[in-house]
Amino acid sequence: MSEYQNHIRKTLEGQHEDPSEDLGMDAMRWAPAPVGDDVPDEASTAAEAAHALLDRAADAYLSLLDSVLGDGTHHIVASASSPHGELSQGQQLTVIGDAVIINQAEALRLCTVLAAGMVGSATCGLVVRTFAPDGSESVRGWTVRNFWLRPLTADKIRQAYSVDPVTGAPLPPEPGVEYRQAERVPRPQAETQPGSRSRSRTAPQDNRPTNRRN
């Protein structure tokens, strides 16, 4: 998937291959505008933090595609809740071996929702419904915690689908659907080296005591 990863990275850096292509306002421009000398320091810091979170969200999304999803058609929904409002974005993609059939504008918007869920007191979850080549259907879920996707158990995702989110009324189980334990989403290699002191350039600083970090 290296070609797709390169496209995402170029978009993050404001280097879209076709500047005349209109992806719509919702697609956003990932890189903040250049900061001049007349811009307050706090604005510069906020822009850098936003770009770091967007970059981290893209890392998590690409890791999910590369290491977790597998062959099949996948319906992905990311939802974030913050004091500023609710965000949700859905996407469908198909994985066949090393090839990915994907809507790039939807992918960017989905990463935006993940990034919003990494901010402060926000909460965020991601659900993947997979239609496998053998005809089976399954659902997995992750929550965003400590700037990364954390797997949910089969019981938790089953419970989430057993209650109507609007009315709170119980819902009957979906026939033929398997609620699965989600897999661990690998972090970038620089963060997984045992004893490594290097940090991802996208990682927001974690100032918590060591024994409070997950």
Out of 39-48, 100-109, 162-171, least confident range: 39-48
pLDDT tens-digit map of 44-86: 677 788 888 899 999 999 999 999 999 999 999 999 998 888 9
DSSP H/E element including 96: strand 85-96
pTM of the complete model beyond 0.75: no
Q: Which of 70, 68, 75 is nearest to 91 (CA)?
A: 75
Return d(Cα 4, Cα 39) in angstroms, integer.
34
Residue with tokens 């307050």: 40
**Is a pLDDT exceeding 60 seen at residue 181?**
yes
Q: Quick one: 118 exposed, middle or buried, by C-beta within 10 A (0-12, 13-18, 19+)? A: buried
pLDDT tens-digit map of 95-145: 999 899 989 999 999 999 999 999 888 999 999 999 999 999 999 999 999
Percent of the chain, pLDDT > 70?
68
| CA distances for 51 relative to 8, 18, 45, 62, 141, angstroms | 13, 21, 10, 16, 25
